[in-house]
Amino acid sequence: MLVQQAKKYLQILSASPRKKLGQNFMIHESDLSFIADALSCDAGEQVLEIGPGLGFLTRFLLQKRLKVTAVEKDKSYAKFLRDYFSQTSFKVFEKDILKVNLKTDLTLAGPVRLYGNIPYSITTPILEWMIGQRNQIREAVLTTQLEVADRLTAVPGAKAWGSLSIFLQVVADVQKIRKIEASSFYPAPKVDSAVIKISFLDKLRYVIGNEAKFFSLVRRAFQKRRKTLLNALKDEREARYSKSNLLRAFKRSKIDPIRRAETLSIKEWAELDGLTG
């Protein structure tokens, strides 16, 4: 375990883990090694790490002879990492990952593999950022809250099935590949975590005309997930969501309007999106 090293590095930084930034540092070397090995990278390959923190995972990635480019929001951590790994191929950019355009803001040679221990508080924004940047990401291995991992890998009809499940699964294959106990972190969070592997598809799983409109439709329905589809979606102020237009779409798609959002598959959502206009 790396807990003593974590305490030592934090002392050097004159810092304490900041709960607001989700600074829970993974300290179990077996978990770090597993994550570093989770993607099939070639020696010398350039990879991206987001939120490297104290650099524990970074160390394992560098041991695999990977060229690590990291994005770290905290200025003091970025400087610490830059100094600590100064004799390696490591590069760190002091940026907010949510404001980074991978194609223009970083010196990356084409689509990369991504690693990250994701702060619980910004998991959804980071995943939505990844979906938007997916042409620059081959695949990713992320550590998230266990509940989030369950949502991302859920199937239609499951309690965990929601808009985020659909948004990610329409563009990628998603697997939960390891559970990680809260005790594997310093300081220990209140909940367990899981490692997920995301492999982005070359094209969308189903034909979708306009992604923004598709996401809007799905999000709208899940905001009122206890209501029937018709009642959750209808709004006479918008032609797309007028009762008459929705009923036509339900009839043509053979989707019962009294069903609820969590019962529809991605294929059914794509069909409904196309028919509502």
CB-CB contact of 100 with 72 (8 Å): no
- Averaged pLDDT for residues 167-190: 97
Average pLDDT value for the chain: 95
CA dihedral 51, 176, 207, 156 (to 10 degrees): -130
75 vs 12: CA distance, rounded Å: 14
- Averaged pLDDT for residues 45-58: 96
pLDDT of residue 108: 87
DSSP H or E run through 81: helix 75-84
Q: Where in the chain is the domain with CATH 3.40.50.150?
A: 3-200
- Averaged pLDDT for residues 83-102: 95
What dotted CATH number matches 211-276?
A: 1.10.8.100
Let me know the angle formed at the C-alpha of 199 by 89 and 1, rounded to the nearest 5 degrees.
Answer: 55
Q: Tens of pLDDT along 103-135?
A: 999 988 789 999 999 888 899 999 999 999 999
pLDDT tier for residue 23 given thresholds of 50, 70 and 90: confident
The radius of gyration of the chain from alpha carbons, rounded to an integer in Å, stands at: 21
What dotted CATH number matches 3-200?
A: 3.40.50.150
Q: Tens of pLDDT along 158-174?
A: 999 999 999 999 999 99
- Averaged pLDDT for residues 192-221: 97
Tell me the pTM. Answer: 0.94
Strands (E), the chain: 25-26, 46-50, 67-71, 91-93, 112-117, 137-145, 172-180, 185-186, 193-200
The proportion of the chain whose per-residue pLDDT surpasses 90, expressed as a percent, equals 92
Q: Where in the chain is the domain with CATH 1.10.8.100?
A: 211-276
CB-CB contact of 125 with 148 (8 Å): no
pLDDT of residue 16: 86
Q: How many CB atoms lie within 10 A of CB 164?
A: 21
Q: Tens of pLDDT along 208-256?
A: 999 999 999 999 999 999 999 999 999 999 999 999 999 999 999 999 9
pLDDT of residue 191: 95
The string of DSSP codes covering 114-174 is EEEE--GGGHHHHHHHHHHTGGGEEEEEEEEEHHHHHHHT--TTSTT--HHHHHHHTTEEE
Residue 112: beta bridge partners? 137
CB-CB contact of 88 with 67 (8 Å): no
pLDDT of residue 214: 98
- Averaged pLDDT for residues 62-78: 96
The proportion of the chain whose per-residue pLDDT surpasses 70, expressed as a percent, equals 99
pLDDT tier for residue 21 given thresholds of 50, 70 and 90: low
CB-CB contact of 32 with 58 (8 Å): no
171 vs 85: CA distance, rounded Å: 35
Q: End-to-end alpha-carbon separation of the chain, Å?
A: 55
- Averaged pLDDT for residues 50-72: 97
